[in-house]
């Protein structure tokens, strides 16, 4: 019986899972300077800034991360006299609610320095939040790949004291007690990781870095002529605080992860299959062009593989980069991978 | 739709078709790959030089250098020609599917295309001495097309008589086509049997292309009673004749909207008409051979 289709059996299909990683290097100047802040989008509500890789009015601009700042209502910085006090508390609570969760009474838990929430301990009451776009973080940030450098000292005009922060050792020591997935503790490169040396938290699947404000010991500016992080956090609005951390950013590097689920179809053409063609040029007055006599082998050339449903609808198609010769002397297995 | 880079290893460029994505999005289990076919759309077998003086290695050198286009996603535009599995290797002739425009409906002599009148007024306006002009199907009342000269006929068999004359020598049983897939734009028309009874589409895809699956065992009214003993388009062993009609959709019957969107205007005799040109594709589900028939839907202005 002549046929154009071949059934795919259970032995011809397999599923695989692959983790793909991309290196994401972000230079600090993209966040402050390269485009004269035309790539920094501020909103009328003033609760965060969005950083783009190109002036955001351009259709080719991509959103890369957001910057915001907040503190807990239990922070020493919280007070009626603080600028945008309620918004800073709201931001902190929103992020904590999503990333840390609630306790048994339904109260929002605060960010914990060592991640051991149940044990209490030091809390990160004041924090910067860097929320990375899914375009960059994809399915998750790869553990122990995140490095971020700041100039934490000096003045806005003369920044000093480079400090590299990273999730050192996180590939074997990440935490899983967050409702937002896995997270690691951010340490300074100069500190030996221990329970009390964390300066922030990195949520891998959520793509959020939480950074304590206390690492900045210099005059952060702008908007404050002199003074510490504390003065800025209480005396300026969120946009100005975000300006300050952008101004001190040197670079950010990490690898993202894409979880690729694939179905592989092995399309097997045996020696006695697919040797003829229904191509309109295959026949001349019904005679097969590639044969002179009946004893010549039929030949066909494969350029396309079509995957069909049982009702003959074409669901997926694969093209070979060059024609593949098929005759009774050859058997082929073409491996078609569909990624999801 | 660029060419694929063929400078290195053979690679596969795979995509889901629009229908594939539609079914995947439905999430109802209809995205279920159960079989595969191989195609050779880009290949021109006329380039096979079996008399090349340099030897057999050069017979297909031009074919093997054919650049291959990227995959694209329109399900009805891909795998137009499929490769065929026949366990025997000693075949020198293969049967084709030919539109029989001699015994069946022939293109209208005015516009040189088989046409379908979509409503009663159009049928009346195209009558000469109360008979609809030749080459036009009454798409409004299909049962009025009661002669083969008003029907689309497709004969399957060998064009040449090198193996013997039609009716004298039987076509090998494994080469007789007994199943067809007919595709037509569902917005414009529908398929019907020779008596004018509409067929049920197996599937209408996202581009409004309806696929009708006809089989000798379950749709015998579309097939000749037996394999052909004569045909004006075949000279050799033959299979069955497929007979069918095309009706006009309600949209075309009741509105000029699609005509103004997709069509143009023309004149037959003194009748000014809207028209839409489309194609009906007839594919042998067993042998993979296929024929495209241009069709024009007509509506009086």
**Predicted pLDDT of residue A192:** 65
Which of B20, B76, B205 lies closest to A316 in CB terms?
B20
**pLDDT, greater one: B295 or A227:** B295
Q: Distance from B14 to chain A by nearest Cα, in Å?
A: 4
Average pLDDT over residues A176-191: 88
Q: Among candidates A108, A137, A138, A144, which has minimal Cα distance to A125?
A: A108
Average pLDDT over residues B83-105: 93
What DSSP string runs through B211-279?
A: EEEEETTT-GGGB-SSS-S--SS--S-EEEEEEEEEEEPHHHHH-SHHHHHH-EEEEETTEEEEEEEEE
Average pLDDT over residues A81-105: 94
Q: Report phi then psi at A325, rounded to 5.
A: -75, 135
Cβ burial of B250 (10 Å; 0-12, 13-18, 19+) is: exposed
Q: Distance from B61 to chain A by nearest Cα, in Å?
A: 11
**Predicted pLDDT of residue A229:** 86
Do B105 and B137 touch, CB atoms closer than 8 A?
yes
> Strand (E) positions, B77-140?
83-84, 96-99, 114-117, 127-128, 131-132, 136-138
The whole-angstrom separation of Cα A123 and Cα A102 is 15
B158-210 pLDDT, tens per residue?
Answer: 999 999 999 899 999 999 999 999 999 999 999 999 999 999 999 888 889 99
pLDDT for residue B211 is more than 50: yes
Cβ atoms within 10 Å, residue B254: 12
Mean pLDDT computed over every residue of chain B: 91
pLDDT for residue A89 is more than 50: yes
**Predicted pLDDT of residue B51:** 85
Q: Distance from A180 to chain B by nearest Cα, in Å?
A: 27
Which residues, in sequence order, are bridge partners of residue A118?
Answer: none
% pLDDT > 90, chain A: 71
Is the Cβ pair A313, B75 closer than 8 Å? yes
Q: Report phi then psi at B101, rounded to 5.
A: -90, 5
pLDDT for residue A53 is more than 90: yes
CB contacts of B15 in chain A (<8 Å) are 316-318
| Weakest-pLDDT range from A216-230, A310-324, B79-93, B249-263 | A216-230
Cβ atoms within 10 Å, residue A340: 10
Average pLDDT over residues B35-53: 92
pLDDT for residue A225 is more than 60: no
**Predicted pLDDT of residue A223:** 47
The whole-angstrom separation of Cα B301 and Cα B271 is 8
Q: What is the CA radius of gyration of chain B?
A: 22
Do B97 and B284 touch, CB atoms closer than 8 A?
yes
Which of B35, B59, B64 lies closest to A308 in CB terms?
B35
The whole-angstrom separation of Cα B143 and Cα B83 is 38
pLDDT grade for A226, boundaries at 50, 70 and 90: low
Query: Any idea what DSSP says for residue A216?
Result: -
% pLDDT > 70, chain A: 96
**Predicted pLDDT of residue B4:** 64
pLDDT grade for A232, boundaries at 50, 70 and 90: confident
% pLDDT > 90, chain B: 72
Do B138 and B151 touch, CB atoms closer than 8 A?
no
**Predicted pLDDT of residue B291:** 92
Q: Among candidates B263, B285, B286, B284, which has minimal Cα distance to B274?
A: B263
Out of A79-88, A149-158, A218-227, give the one with best mean pLDDT: A79-88
% pLDDT > 70, chain B: 96
Which DSSP helix (H) or strand (E) runs through A137? Answer: helix A134-137
Query: Any idea what DSSP says for residue A47?
Result: S
Average pLDDT over residues B21-40: 93
CB contacts of B60 in chain A (<8 Å) are 290, 299, 301, 325
Mean pLDDT computed over every residue of chain A: 90
pLDDT for residue A131 is more than 90: yes
The whole-angstrom separation of Cα A289 and Cα B60 is 12
Chain A, window 124-153: residues with a beta carbon less than 8 angstroms from a chain B beta carbon: none
Which DSSP helix (H) or strand (E) runs through B192? Answer: strand B189-192
The whole model's pTM is what? 0.80
Q: Distance from A265 to chain B by nearest Cα, in Å?
A: 9
Is the Cβ pair A281, B15 closer than 8 Å? no
| Weakest-pLDDT range from A219-233, B29-43, B221-235 | A219-233
Residues 6+ apart with CB under 8 A from B187: B208, B249, B251, B258
Do B263 and B154 touch, CB atoms closer than 8 A?
no
Identify from B27, B89, B91 which residue to disrupt to test chain A contact, counting A C-beta atoms within 10 A and taking the largest count.
B89
Chain A, window 210-249: residues with a beta carbon less than 8 angstroms from a chain B beta carbon: none
């Amino acid at each position: 019986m002549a046929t154009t289709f071949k059934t795919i059996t259970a032995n011809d299909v397999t599923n695989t899972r692959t983790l793909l990683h991309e290196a994401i290097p972000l230079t600090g100047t993209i966040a402050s300077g390269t485009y004269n802040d035309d790539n920094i989008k501020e909103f009328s509500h003033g609760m965060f800034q969005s950083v783009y890789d190109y002036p955001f009015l351009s259709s080719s601009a991509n959103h890369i991360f957001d910057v915001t700042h907040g503190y807990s209502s239990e922070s020493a910085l919280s007070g009626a006299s603080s600028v945008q006090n309620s918004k800073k508390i709201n931001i902190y609570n929103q992020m904590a609610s999503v990333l840390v969760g609630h306790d048994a009474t339904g109260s929002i838990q605060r960010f914990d320095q060592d991640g051991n929430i149940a044990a209490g301990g030091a809390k990160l009451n004041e924090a910067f939040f860097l929320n990375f776009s899914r375009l960059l973080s994809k399915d998750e940030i790869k553990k122990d790949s995140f490095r971020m450098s700041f100039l934490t000292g000096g003045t806005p005009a003369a920044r000093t004291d480079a400090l590299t922060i990273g999730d050192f050792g996180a590939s074997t020591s990440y935490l899983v007690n967050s409702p937002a997935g896995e997270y690691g503790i951010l340490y300074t490169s100069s500190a030996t990781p221990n329970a009390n040396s964390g300066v922030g938290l990195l949520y891998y699947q959520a793509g959020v870095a939480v950074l304590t404000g206390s690492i900045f010991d210099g005059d952060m500016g702008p908007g404050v002529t002199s003074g510490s992080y504390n003065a800025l956090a209480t005396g300026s609005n969120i946009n100005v605080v975000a300006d300050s951390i952008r101004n001190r950013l040197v670079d950010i590097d990490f690898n993202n992860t894409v979880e690729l689920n694939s179905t592989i179809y092995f399309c097997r053409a045996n020696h006695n299959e697919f040797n003829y063609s229904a191509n309109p040029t295959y026949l001349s007055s019904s005679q097969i062009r590639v044969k002179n006599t009946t004893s010549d082998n039929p030949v066909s050339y494969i350029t396309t593989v079509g995957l069909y449903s049982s009702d003959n609808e074409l669901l997926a198609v694969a093209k070979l980069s060059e024609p593949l010769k098929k005759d009774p002397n050859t058997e082929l297995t073409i491996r078609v991978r569909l990624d999801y | 739709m660029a060419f694929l880079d063929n400078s290195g290893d053979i690679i596969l460029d795979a995509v889901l078709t629009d229908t594939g994505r539609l079914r995947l999005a439905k999430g109802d289990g209809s995205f279920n790959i159960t079989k595969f076919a191989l195609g050779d759309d880009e290949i021109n077998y006329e380039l096979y030089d079996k008399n090349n003086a340099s030897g057999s290695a050069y017979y297909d050198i031009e074919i093997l250098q054919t650049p291959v286009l990227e995959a694209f996603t329109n399900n009805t535009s891909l795998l137009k020609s499929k490769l065929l599995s026949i366990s025997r290797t000693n075949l020198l002739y293969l049967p084709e599917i030919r539109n029989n425009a001699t015994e069946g409906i022939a293109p209208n002599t005015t516009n040189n295309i088989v046409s379908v009148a979509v409503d009663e007024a159009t049928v009346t306006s195209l009558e000469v001495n109360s008979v609809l002009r030749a080459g036009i199907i009454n798409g409004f009342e299909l049962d009025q097309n009661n002669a083969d000269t008003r029907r689309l006929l497709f004969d399957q068999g060998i064009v040449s008589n090198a193996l013997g004359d039609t009716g004298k020598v039987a076509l090998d049983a494994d080469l007789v086509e007994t199943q067809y897939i007919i595709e037509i734009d569902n917005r414009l028309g529908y398929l019907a049997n020779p008596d004018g009874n509409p067929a049920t589409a197996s599937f209408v895809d996202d581009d409004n292309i309806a696929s009708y699956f006809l089989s000798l065992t379950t749709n015998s009214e579309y097939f000749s009673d037996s394999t052909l003993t004569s045909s004006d388009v075949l000279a050799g062993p033959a299979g069955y004749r497929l007979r069918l009609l095309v009706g006009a959709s309600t949209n075309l019957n009741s509105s000029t909207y699609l005509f103004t969107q997709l069509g143009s205007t023309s004149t037959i005799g003194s009748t000014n008409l809207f028209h839409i040109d489309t194609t009906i594709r007839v594919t042998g589900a067993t042998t993979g051979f296929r024929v495209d028939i241009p069709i024009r839907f007509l509506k009086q202005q």
